[in-house]
Amino acid sequence: MTITTETPQESFRLSMLFNDTRYRALTFQAIALLVLIAAVAFLFSNLMANLEKAGLNISFEFLGAPSGYDINQTLIDYNSQSSNLRAAWVGIINTLLVAFLACITATFFGVTAGVLRLSNNWLVSKLMSFYVEIFRNIPVLIWLIIIYTVITGVLPGARAYLGETPDKELLFGLFAFTNRGVYAPAPIWGDGSGIVVATFIASIIGVFLYRRYATKLLYDTGKLLPTGWPSLAILIVPSILMFYVMGQPIGLDSPDPLANRFNLKGGIQIGAPLLALWFALSIYTGAFIAENVRAGIQAVSKGQTEAAAALGLRPRRVMNLVVLPQALRVIIPPLISQYLNITKNSSLAIAVGYADITATLGGITLNQTGRAIECVILLMLFYLVISLSISSIMNVYNNAMKLKER
């Protein structure tokens, strides 16, 4: 008969916080946290004391006062009698707009240049290398000024498109490229337009689901489904059918060269500052993304490519089905940093007069109200929230692309 005895548990003593390895790490972390809290509290109390001596106090009441200035390009209703908070919202929306557009186009430029830089065509490869080395080694501010100067100095004025016998004709009768920006048709939303838009969004989701199904079927059974024309059909056909079923509820308001003697009327104007900032951020960041893509592709073993070719896959299929899915695990982490850089570099918009959040809240509002501390705090919070949001979204995608270990 075997008798087992349990080792008596030692009672907890304060000395174990430093002598016992089970508690020592937690103890030092707690001490470090207390020191950090004390340091932050000291700095904050010192700031409040200095502000009180200077006769200043932190207040955000200025956000409710009229702004007193106009903004050249807005996506929401705004005038000079709107509040400073409204002006800040205009700046936030403008910042998000240019950051979103630049992220999409920079990704397109970067992926295209990164893949073509590895092309067997010597001329194409060298042209892409030239693009990467030129654009990533010159500051984005310089490119911004160059592009803005080209737009305002080379393109004709709006008057060239005016009158019954204009010097220049609208492109396709819809678009005008001037030194003030691009004039394009604006949609006119009628009854039932929401259903058409919802159908189009559902079609986009359907394209992704179909392509995902085709890829899974190929991996599971080796059966290759066409993806080109079915994707196009899923994207276009349902929306067109719904457009006519609902009685064509969406129209176009095109620029009219005869409506005004001095400027084009109708449609929507994409201002030169927005175009310059959008294009500068795209081509500059696209050069960095191209290097990330090139590194990711080269990180995939050549044996993978050779094995896929031995199975009879065409080069384009090898790139889309074998190389890029593995390369994404290397590409995505630095790609997150590039998206963050686009968002933060958009603050250079003030150089060309684009009213982003830095130009409105951190520029005109700050100068008019004198509330520097409050404006800077709000700016910091905005960029912090946006950066953390982008990181969180991209990290979810990054985790989905990671290798799943058994």
C-alpha 92/C-alpha 327 separation (Å) is 34
Asked whether the predicted pLDDT for residue 344 surpasses 60, the reply is yes
C-alpha 12/C-alpha 17 separation (Å) is 9
Please, how many CA atoms are within 13 Å of residue 38, restricted to the half-sphere of its CB?
6
C-alpha 224/C-alpha 216 separation (Å) is 10
| Confidence category of residue 64, pLDDT binned at 50, 70, 90 | confident
At 151, phi and psi to the nearest 5?
-65, -45
Task: Tell me the two tokens of residue 10.
Answer: 């030692």
Yes or no: say if 294 and 131 are a contact pair by the CB < 8 Å rule. Answer: no
Helix, strand, coil shares, percent, the chain, to 5: 65, 5, 25
Mapped onto helix, strand or coil, the DSSP state of residue 223 is: coil
Mean pLDDT of 40-58: 82
Yes or no: say if 273 and 151 are a contact pair by the CB < 8 Å rule. Answer: no
| Confidence category of residue 307, pLDDT binned at 50, 70, 90 | confident
Give one word for 170, left, alpha or beta, with left for phi > 0 and alpha for psi -120 to 50: beta
Give me the residue label for tokens 């590194």: 295
The H-assigned helical ranges of 20-72 are 21-53
For 356-390, how does the pLDDT look when each residue is reduced to its tens digit (9 = 90+)? Answer: 888 888 888 888 888 888 888 899 999 999 988 88
Identify the pLDDT of residue 14: 67
Residue 348 identity: L
Least confident of 193-197, 227-231, 258-262: 258-262
Which run of H or of E encompasses 177? strand 176-178
User: Which residue from 61, 204, 151, 117 is spatially nearest to 353, judged by alpha carbons?
Assistant: 151
| Confidence category of residue 403, pLDDT binned at 50, 70, 90 | low
Burial of 132 (0-12, 13-18, 19+ CB in 10 A): buried
Asked whether the predicted pLDDT for residue 406 surpasses 60, the reply is no
Mean pLDDT of 243-265: 77
C-alpha 284/C-alpha 125 separation (Å) is 18
pLDDT: is 327 or 110 the higher one? 110
C-alpha 181/C-alpha 322 separation (Å) is 42
Residue by residue, DSSP assigns 270-316 as EEHHHHHHHHHHHHHHHHHHHHHHHHHHHTS-HHHHHHHHHTT--HH
Which of 126-135, 187-196, 210-219 ranks highest by mean pLDDT? 126-135
Mean pLDDT of 161-186: 78
Asked whether the predicted pLDDT for residue 289 surpasses 90, the reply is yes
| Alpha-carbon distance values, 202 to 187, 199, 216, 238 (Å) | 20, 5, 21, 9
Least confident of 79-88, 230-239, 315-324, 379-388: 315-324
Asked whether the predicted pLDDT for residue 244 surpasses 90, the reply is no
Asked whether the predicted pLDDT for residue 218 surpasses 60, the reply is yes
Give me the residue label for tokens 């073993």: 301
Least confident of 259-263, 295-299, 391-395: 259-263
| Average pLDDT of the chain to the nearest whole number | 84
| Confidence category of residue 164, pLDDT binned at 50, 70, 90 | low
Which run of H or of E encompasses 353? none
| Confidence category of residue 71, pLDDT binned at 50, 70, 90 | confident
Mapped onto helix, strand or coil, the DSSP state of residue 231 is: helix
Question: pTM value?
Answer: 0.80
Give one word for 222, left, alpha or beta, with left for phi > 0 and alpha for psi -120 to 50: left
Percent of all residues in the chain with a pLDDT value above 90, rounded to a whole number: 20
Give me the residue label for tokens 């009672």: 11
Task: Tell me the two tokens of residue 25.
Answer: 């790490």
Identify the pLDDT of residue 12: 65
Give one word for 155, left, alpha or beta, with left for phi > 0 and alpha for psi -120 to 50: beta
At 303, phi and psi to the nearest 5?
-60, -30
Overall residue count recorded for the chain in this entry: 406
Asked whether the predicted pLDDT for residue 281 surpasses 90, the reply is yes
The single-letter DSSP state of residue 163 is: S
Mean pLDDT of 21-38: 84
